[in-house]
Amino acid sequence: MFKYCVSAMALKVFSSSHLTKRTYRALGNTLGGRRRAAGQMPTHYLNRINRMLRLAKSYGVPKDGDKLIELGTGWLHWEAIVSRLFFNVSGILFDVWDNRQLNGLKNYLEQLDHMLDLLDADNTQQTSAHKLIAQIKEAKDYQDLYKLLDFEYVLDPRGSLNLLKKESVDLVVSAGVLEHISAKGASDFVDSIAALLKPGGYSVHSINIRDHLRQYDSTVSPKQYLQYPHWVWSLLFDNEVQYINRIQRSDWLELFRRTGLVLVEEEVETEDLSGLKVAKAYQKYGETDLRCGGLNLVHRKPV
């Protein structure tokens, strides 16, 4: 618990001004960039590709000719780029911070190139991926990369999707992003996702509802924040540089339902909450909500 509290205090300090926020981003991108440029690709990156390939077989998205938007593309644009490895898609890469790390992307793709036979991809798809990875490795900069892939990078610090063309894409996808958008703005953001989709288009999101401070202290509960009243969390643990909105599973389901999008698939990753005392503010939620650590949602826009 000591590391948990100290980490929260440090993140609050980094959140205190524009200068400290820029410093945090610079440090994170420099240190993280070195690690990704030379380190091992995490196993869950491979799992995310297999999930995308399974969705393509189940629902026909993504497929050749589709246009997608990846929200919060972060360091590597992973969801969009691996979709492009196996399908001839175009896309928009949308983010609020420029955290791009080309050397990290190339390193992970180099490793992926030797793992393609572990994926649920046919021979044609594997051949296409091998060829495109070789071309990506030759890209000198991001402009080369985007020209090669037919992608557009859009940066908006406000995080607003309203300037993007309505009903213009077949797929809106994100991974580990929606838990970071403002709780107050979540409803409008989900409305914007629905508005971007063509009729028949799909919304695919992986949402990490766990307490992100646990990455600094594995001794605490995966959903440690459930123990604190909202005012305690706001006073002691909330921060802007690693903000999490703490929106729960049933709330996400309701936000998407109200847009008119139809739920076609839900996958819940459960956590053990033994010994955790749940604060009154969260006692209105059922066990499925409380134990939900990871939430994978697939919605379709009616024709």
Given this model, what pLDDT does residue 29 score?
A: 87
CA dist., res. 95 & res. 76, Å (int)? 12
pLDDT score at 15: 95
Cα–Cα distance, 150 to 67 (Å, whole number): 10
Query: CB within 8 A of 104, min separation 6: which ones?
Result: 32, 33, 35, 36, 37, 75, 76
Contact 64, 90 (CB under 8 A): no
- The per-residue pLDDT for 219 is 95
The answer to whether 62 touches 133, Cβ cutoff 8 Å, is no
pLDDT in 10s for each residue of the chain, 303 residues = 899 999 999 999 999 999 999 999 988 888 888 999 999 999 999 999 999 999 999 999 999 999 999 999 889 999 999 999 999 999 999 999 999 999 999 999 999 999 999 999 999 999 999 999 999 999 999 999 999 999 999 999 999 999 899 999 999 999 999 999 999 999 999 999 999 999 999 999 999 999 999 999 999 999 999 999 999 999 999 999 999 999 999 999 999 999 999 999 999 999 999 999 999 999 999 999 999 999 999 999 999
Look at the chain and count its residues.
303
The CATH number given to 2-300 is 3.40.50.150
Q: For residue 58, give the 3-state DSSP assignment.
A: helix
Distances (CA, A) of 141 to 33, 76, 144, 145: 15, 13, 5, 6
Domains in the chain: boundaries: 2-300
Chain centroid, CA 44 distance in Å: 12
**290 neighbors 226 (Cβ within 8 angstroms):** yes
Nearest-10 Cα torsion for 259, 260, 266, 272:
40
CA 302, 72, 107, 39 torsion-angle sign: negative
Burial class for 283, CB neighbours closer than 10 Å (0-12, 13-18, 19+): exposed
Quickly tell me which residue has 């859009």 as its tokens: 154
Q: How far apart are CA 153 and CA 143, in angstroms?
A: 9
H/E stretch holding 68 reads: strand 67-71
Amino acid at 212: H
Residue 298 is inside which H or E element, if any?
Answer: strand 292-300
pTM for the model: 0.94
* CB of 300 closer than 8 Å to CB of 262: yes
| pLDDT for res 217 | 96
